[in-house]
Chains A and B, each alone.
Chain A
Amino acid sequence: MDIFDSPWLINMLAKSSKTPQGRLLGLFDILNDWLKAPSFEQASVTLGAPNPLLISYCVEQAKSLGAENPELLAEHIVLIAQNAARHAITQPESNSLIHAKKVALALIQAQTQKTAITTNVKGSRSALYGVAASMVIVIGAAAIWAPMFIHSKSAQAQLVQQNQINTAINQNKALTAIDASRMYAKYEQMRQGTCQFPEVLQIPDEHKSIYLENVVGGKLPNDLADLGVANFYLEKVRCNFTPMLMAASK
C-alpha cells in the first residue's frame, strides 16, 4: 500500500513534535524509519498528486509556523518527501530522506525569513501587518477571558509566545535604518490616534521594561537587541484611525 495515503502517517506526524515545524520535518524521519524497518515489503510510493488529507494536515502546520504561502509550502514539502521516498526505495544507501529533510527546512526558512527580517517589499509587509493584526485579536481575546483562564492558560501561552519572539528576534539580525525610520513613523501615528496596546500581562518579564519604555513610552531604543524586541511588539500595536495600516492589512 501507499504510505502517503495512510491515516497512520498523519497520526505519527501529530505525535512527532510539539512544534509545527517539527511536525512538518517529522515526515522525513517517519518515512526514513518506515523504509528502513526490516518488515517492510513491496513499499510503493505513487508519483503525482499527493494525498489531500496529508496535504491539508501539512497546510495547517505551515500556517501555524507563519509561512507566506502555506498551501504551496505544504505541497512542495510533500512532493519532495514522495520523490525522496521513491529514491530511497531504489537507492537505500543515498540517505535521500535525510537530504530531503534539509531541503524542507530550507524551504521553511525561505517562506518565513521575510516576515522576520521586515523587508520593504510590499507583499511581505502586508503579510506582516496581517500577522500583527491577528495577534492583536488573539491578545484581545485573551484579555477578555483572562480572569477565567489566566491560571491554566497564561503560562502555556507565554511559553508559546516566548518561542515565537525568540525565533523572530534570532532571525532579526538584519534590522536596518529602514526599520528605525518605520518605528519613528509608527510612534508618530501612535501620538495622533487611539491605540490598543497588547496587555503587559502577556509579555515575558525580561521584555516588560523594553515594552513599556520603547513601545508604550515611544522612545527609540539605543541597543540593537532591544530594537528587535521593541519592533516586535510595536508591530502589534493597533491604532484605530491609521488608514495606512488598515489599507496594508487588506
Chain B
Amino acid sequence: MSGLREKILSTASDLFQTQGINSTGVDTIVATAGTTKMTLYKYFSSKELLILEVLKEGHQDFQTWLNDKLSANTKHPAEKLQKLFDYIEEWITSPDFNGIGFIKASAEFPKEDNPVHKLSAEQSQQFRQYIKQLATEANIKDADGLSLQLSLLFKGAVQAEHMQRGSDAVKYAKIAAKILIDGSLTR
C-alpha cells in the first residue's frame, strides 16, 4: 500500500467532510495533499472512485471504533444496546467530528441510481443490520422494528448536528433511545 495513496485518501476525506463533496475539486485535493493530478488519477481513475473509497474507509473506521468500544466495555448484549448511543454521542461530540460520511453523501447525491448514493444507502443499511444484530442478541422480539427506530433516531440526530454543531441533538436522542429500548424489552 502506497503512502501517497493514503495521503490522498485522508486529505480528500477531510476536505469532503468540511467543505462538502461536490464543492471540493480535484485541484484542491492535490494541492492540499502536495501531489499532482497525475498521481491522483494513477490511484483513483476518477473523482467518483475516490469518493467511494473515502466513504468505505470512513465507514470502516466508524464501525470498527464502535465495535471495539462496545466489546471492550460491555459484557451482556442488552447492555451493548443501551450503551450504543453513549458511544455514538462520544463520537459525535468529539472536537474533530466532521460528520458521518454516509449520511452526508446520501444528501449530496440524492439520485437513487448514483453509485455514491447506492454505497451510502448500503452503509446505512449495514449500520441498521448492526443494530438489529445487537437487538436480536438482547432477545428483543421486534428487533427489526427497533433497529429501524434507532437508525431513524441516529440519522436525524446526525443531520441536526451537521446543520448546527453542538445542537444537543444526540443528548436527547440518547434519552429517546433508552425509552424505545426499554419499551421494546418489556413488550
Contacts and interface: CB of A to CB of B under 8 A. Distances in A.
Interface of A: 46-49, 69, 72-73, 75-77, 79-80, 83-84, 87, 90, 94-96, 99-100, 102-103, 106-107, 109-111, 113
A182 B133 CA distance: 45
Contacts of B185: none
A181 B156 CA distance: 40
A80 B156 contact: yes
B140 interface: no
B38 interface: no
A55 to B, nearest CB: 11
A110 B175 contact: yes
Interface of B: 106-107, 110, 112, 145, 148-149, 152-153, 155-157, 159-160, 163, 167-169, 172-173, 175-177, 179-180, 183
Contacts of B172: 69, 72-73, 76, 107, 110-111
Contacts of A94: 148
A47 B121 CA distance: 13
B74 to A, nearest CB: 22
Nearest to B177: A106
22 contacts: A47-B106, A47-B110, A69-B172, A72-B160, A76-B157, A76-B160, A77-B156, A79-B155, A83-B159, A87-B148, A99-B148, A100-B152, A102-B149, A103-B180, A106-B179, A106-B180, A106-B183, A107-B153, A109-B179, A110-B175, A110-B176, A110-B179
Nearest to A73: B172
Given A46-B110, A76-B156, A110-B179, 7 more contacts: A49-B163, A83-B152, A83-B155, A100-B152, A103-B153, A103-B176, A106-B175
B187 to A, nearest CB: 12
Contacts of B168: 69, 72
B10 to A, nearest CB: 26
**Which of B149, B152, B160, B173 has most chain A Cβ within 10 Å?**
B152
B176 A109 contact: yes
Contacts of A106: 153, 175-177, 179-180, 183
A152 B145 CA distance: 47
Contacts of B155: 79-80, 83
Contact of A79 (B148, B149, B160): B160
Nearest to B174: A110
A80 B153 CA distance: 7
A46 B149 CA distance: 20
A102 B173 CA distance: 13
A51 to B, nearest CB: 14
Contacts of A80: 152-153, 155-156
Given A47-B110, A103-B176, A79 B145 contact: no
Contacts of A73: 172
B48 to A, nearest CB: 19
**Which of B160, B163, B167, B183 has most chain A Cβ within 10 Å?**
B160
**Which of B153, B155, B168 has most chain A Cβ within 10 Å?**
B153
A110 B155 CA distance: 17
A167 to B, nearest CB: 16
A94 B173 CA distance: 22
A76 B167 CA distance: 10
